[in-house]
Structure 1
Amino acid sequence: MTLDDLRVFVAVCRAGSLSAVARELACTQSAVSQHVKRLEKETGLSLLERRPRGVVPTHAGQVLCDAAAGSIAGLELALRRLGDLANGDSGSVRVTTGGTTVRHFMSEAIVAFRQRYPKTSLEFRTETSSRGCFDALTAGDLDLAWVTIAGAVRGIEQRPVVDLPWVLAVRPDDPLAARTRLRATDLTDIRIIRLPQNSTSGARLDAAFAEQGIPNSSDTSVADWDTALLLAELGLGHAVVPALPGRRISGDGPLRLIPLPDLPPLTVGWAVRRWDALTPLARTFADTVATNCAEVAGHRAVRP
């Protein structure tokens, strides 16, 4: 049983496919299968169940996958930390985020961090949802994930940073544009651009609508908040989105953003495998982003 065997096996369990892992590793499917067979021979147990559209871990396979994933992640973090200690400020920080996170939450913090640590490598991996960020984080090669704070996630620690109240984005010529705030019931008869159902923010908004008895039968949906705002600007509907740090609620632009205080705010922040295992550079980067968000968002910042 080698570390490579375990790495490949964990990758297969997550992908649900031998061929997908083979493509990712630029090797043959047979080579991937050999890693799994060595583990099965050593444990004396069947670890994967073959199905028409891929594979799933057996009960024994899931036990091994869970244990191996945690051990591999811990070992790789330790090696990264040792490397950073040896190299001083020339280490790296690896972050996974949603598509618009860097622009809305990190831009000023990145500049400040880069000025303070010019030799540090900053690496960003984009995922389409918080769930994707959690999965990428548990894969073991990332330090931090910026996510919509969710319920308990196995093997993940979450730290809230800022609360984002919801707003309705409308064009200046819309009848609602002159309002200073709206009740949830004001949304009943308007067409709302739908956030992705598989996203945490979309699920939270759907739950809030259901609790308030607001129907949401939109025929327009988007993959991210920025696209929702663009479609609202084009007159394709109204967008209910979080009020992002630094974005003005009203003004002379193409949209008016009207607060919706009836809807519970969306909390975003950091997720890691273990805070006490973060490298000093990764911890400093996380703190820099959190401090910047607190300064911009003011009272909406979540105090630890």
Structure 2
Amino acid sequence: MTLDDLRVFAVVCRTGSLSAAARDLTCTQSAVSQHVRRLEREIGLSLLERRPRGVVPTPAGRRLHSAVTEGLGCIDHALRQLEELAHADGGSVRVTTGATTVRHFMAAAVVDFRRRFPQASLEFQTEPSSRGCFDALAAGSVDLAWVTLGPSIRSAEQHPVVELPWALAVTARDPLADRAFIEPADLQDARLIGLPENSTARAQLGSWLAESGIRPVFDTSVTDWDTAILLAELGLGHAVVPTLPDWSGPGHPDLRLIPIPALPPLAAGWAVRRWDALSPLARAFAEGVAHHCRKRPGMP
């Protein structure tokens, strides 16, 4: 088997389709099939199960995919480190995160990084969920992932940077707008704007509310916190959101963020394959983001 066989197999597992893998790899579907068949012949086991809407790995395929993802990620990471050694400070840092994270947590650090390392480049890859960020990290396509922190996983280290208290976002005209704080019981049967169910933050919020016996209804789904807060500010619903400093103050006279102190704060920060294996540039950017977050007014 070749590295190309393994790379193609990993893409097939990620996309769930031979045709989608061919599009990603800009090759033909028959070429993708040849790579997979070569692996299956050499291993002596079927690696993919054909389904009406694509393919899924067999038990043997899942085991191989896990090893391939980790192994190729290590190889790609080592090659990038060697490239940076060859080009001094002219390398790049690849970051994956949600759509609005750069605005809230990284803007000052990006400016500072550009001043310190003018020859280096920053590459941002947007993912809709922390799970997608972890997958990109495991595949070796990024150096750093800014995520909502959750249970530990084998393929990544998680390093907390900020803790964000929860608040209920409402319009200033809402009957709840003058409340000093909100209790979880106040959310019983509330109809809320929320992130998709597969997001880590939504899962944690639902779990914490369930521990208090609260089961709100999420009848509006958005892809990021900024959109949820904007809809609440416009009077289109309520949203339980992490307290983000950019939304506080005179710039948003029609918005109220009412604290929910009974809920544990939401932790966010960096996920990396191995902190001690980060390139000097990636480590400098990660530490710069943490430094600016600590300095920023209103950021816990």
Q: Which residue does the alignment assign to 2:272?
A: 272
**AA aligned opposite 1:40:** E
For the 8 Å contact 2:70–2:139, the answer to whether it is kept is: no
SS of the aligned residue for 1:88 comes to coil
Q: Which residue does the alignment assign to 1:197?
A: 197
How much has 1:213 moved relative to structure 2?
2.4
How much has 1:176 moved relative to structure 2?
2.2
How many residue pairs were aligned?
300
Q: Deviations over 1:182-240 (max 9, x none)?
A: 22223336432233211111111111222222231243222211111111112111111
Which is further off, 216-225 or 7-16? 216-225
TM score, norm. by length of structure 1: 0.93
Tell me the distance in 1 between the aligned counterparts of 2:299 and 2:24.
44
How much has 1:269 moved relative to structure 2?
0.6
Q: Which residue does the alignment assign to 2:60?
A: 60
Tell me the distance in 2 between the aligned counterparts of 1:171 and 1:17.
45
Tell me the distance in 1 between the aligned counterparts of 2:267 and 2:59.
35
Aligned-pair identity (%): 64
Q: Deviations over 1:30-70 (max 9, x none)?
A: 00011111112222222222222222222222222222221
SS of the aligned residue for 2:253 comes to coil
Q: Which residue does the alignment assign to 2:221?
A: 221
Which is further off, 47-56 or 269-278? 47-56
SS of the aligned residue for 1:4 comes to helix
- Residues 77/186 of structure 1: CA separation in 2 closer, same or farther (3 Å cut): same
- Residues 212/249 of structure 1: CA separation in 2 closer, same or farther (3 Å cut): farther
Q: Which residue does the alignment assign to 1:110?
A: 110
Q: Which residue does the alignment assign to 2:146?
A: 146
Runs of 5+ consecutive residues of structure 2 not aligned to the other structure: none
Q: Which residue does the alignment assign to 2:9?
A: 9
Q: Which residue does the alignment assign to 1:208?
A: 208
For the 8 Å contact 1:246–1:296, the answer to whether it is kept is: no
Q: Are residues 1:45 and 2:45 paired?
A: yes
Aligned counterparts, 1:83-102, within 5 A? 83-102=83-102
For the 8 Å contact 1:22–1:28, the answer to whether it is kept is: yes
**AA aligned opposite 2:59:** H
- Residues 191/41 of structure 1: CA separation in 2 closer, same or farther (3 Å cut): closer
Which is further off, 86-95 or 249-258? 249-258
For the 8 Å contact 1:250–1:257, the answer to whether it is kept is: no
Tell me the distance in 2 between the aligned counterparts of 1:252 and 1:246.
9
Name the Cα RMSD after superposition: 1.8
